[in-house]
Amino acid sequence: MSEHVDPYVIPSKKINCQRDLEKFLKSSTFQDIWNFILALNEAVRDKKTTAAVPQSSVVQSLVEQLNRLSDWIDDIPPIEQPMRFGNAAFRTWHKRLVENSRNLLEQVLPPQLHPSIVELAPYLEDSFGNSQRIDYGSGHEATFLAFMLCLKKIGASSESDAAALVFQVFGTYLKVTRKLQTVYKLEPAGSHGVWGLDDYAFLPFLWGSSQLYSHPEITPRSVLNDQVVELYKDDYLYIGAIHFIKQVKSGPFAEHSPYLYDISCITGGWPKANQGLLKMYQAEVWNKFPVIQHFLFGSLLPFD
């Protein structure tokens, strides 16, 4: 059942200063977001990405449309330019996304939910990077999280879809964003350099550590073993993220990803890693004004 009662609006309000951010972190909207993160974290605990989980027709349709976005990357090759990073062809791809976002959502949602598209589309459009800066980061990833929460709020997805939202929907989104990063050489948005968890994403590590929570054989240190990473990259988001990093970065893992290396040495295993990542996600993403300043608010995710 939908939680929504007010008329849908185009999300436009943003956080303008640190004081606004502090108020937002105490708001019911942020509590809704955080409870959603925790619910998905719990839903995937000790489950493989390839596990058979319930998924609604909306989830299946959304995955199909996300795969269309991937196909568009093939249609729009990078252009020849002097700059190594930030290929301008990404702007063409993103323009196509903006022009077609409402049509994509019409294919996903049942007709009675089409009025919500005016509010959902801006979240979808902002989930894949900034077309002016030609960058992508954890703030855009957080926007896609908000998009999934909005689907729940309008009743398009249900509690039983929780694991599928991570494995099928977010998993497909992750493939699209990684393809965008590699093909168009997107700049990391707000990167901490080697002292960040990752240049672009956070949630694969958070939810991926929950997948491995009670694993009898794979420990945090196992990710240092290339054979383990190759064998399990499709089964666990965390290991898949490590595999992607090793594909795009060269040199010793401890040097280009020191924070992830530190996690591999943690005592307390995956439960401690998962709890630590939850705290880090709030501290390094939601608590940071440069990351959340572009986050949009409307009637589904209000902030006064």
- Using DSSP, state whether 136 is helix, strand or coil: strand
pTM of the model: 0.95
Q: How many CB atoms lie within 10 A of CB 274?
A: 22
Structure confidence at residue 193 (pLDDT): 46
User: Domain count of the chain?
Assistant: 1
**What is the rounded end-to-end Cα distance, in angstroms, of the chain?**
25
Q: Can you state the percent helix, strand and coil of the chain, rounding each to 5?
A: 65, 0, 35
Angle between helices 28-43 and 269-281 (to 10 degrees): 160
Angle between helices 89-108 and 57-75 (to 10 degrees): 160
| pLDDT tens-digit readout, 52-103 | 999 999 999 999 999 999 999 999 999 998 888 899 999 999 999 999 999 9
Please answer whether residues 239 and 208 qualify as being in contact, where contact means their C-beta atoms are separated by less than 8 angstroms.
Answer: yes
Q: List b or e across 65-82, with b for residues whose CB sees 16 or more CB atoms inside 10 angstroms.
A: bbeebbebbeebeeeeee
Tell me if 105 is assigned to some domain.
Answer: yes
173: domain CATH number is: 1.20.120.1150
Tell me if 276 is assigned to some domain.
Answer: yes
- Token pair for 83: 């700059």
Tell me if 12 is assigned to some domain.
Answer: no
CB-count exposure of residue 214 (10 Å: 0-12, 13-18, 19+): exposed
- Token pair for 28: 């019911």
Here the contacts of 269-273 (C-beta below 8 Å, separation 24 or greater) are 269/219, 269/220, 270/209, 270/210, 270/212, 270/213, 270/214, 270/215, 270/219, 270/220, 271/213, 273/209, 273/220
Q: How far is CA 106 from the centre of its chain?
A: 22
| pLDDT tens-digit readout, 56-66 | 999 999 999 99
Tell me if 304 is assigned to some domain.
Answer: no
Tell me if 26 is assigned to some domain.
Answer: yes
Structure confidence at residue 192 (pLDDT): 52
| pLDDT tens-digit readout, 187-245 | 988 655 444 688 899 999 999 999 999 999 999 999 999 999 999 999 999 999 999 99
Tell me if 33 is assigned to some domain.
Answer: yes
Residue 278 has φ and ψ, to the nearest 5°, of -60, -45
The whole domain housing 177 covers 21-292
**Integer Cα distance of 102 and 123 in angstroms:** 11
Tell me if 279 is assigned to some domain.
Answer: yes
| pLDDT tens-digit readout, 130-143 | 999 999 999 999 99
Q: How far is CA 181 from the centre of its chain?
A: 14
Q: CA-CA-CA-CA torsion for 210, 213, 218, 223, nearest 10 degrees?
A: 40
Tell me if 2 is assigned to some domain.
Answer: no
**Integer Cα distance of 71 and 64 in angstroms:** 11
Average pLDDT over the chain reads 94
pLDDT at 43 over 50: yes
Please answer whether residues 167 and 136 qualify as being in contact, where contact means their C-beta atoms are separated by less than 8 angstroms.
Answer: no
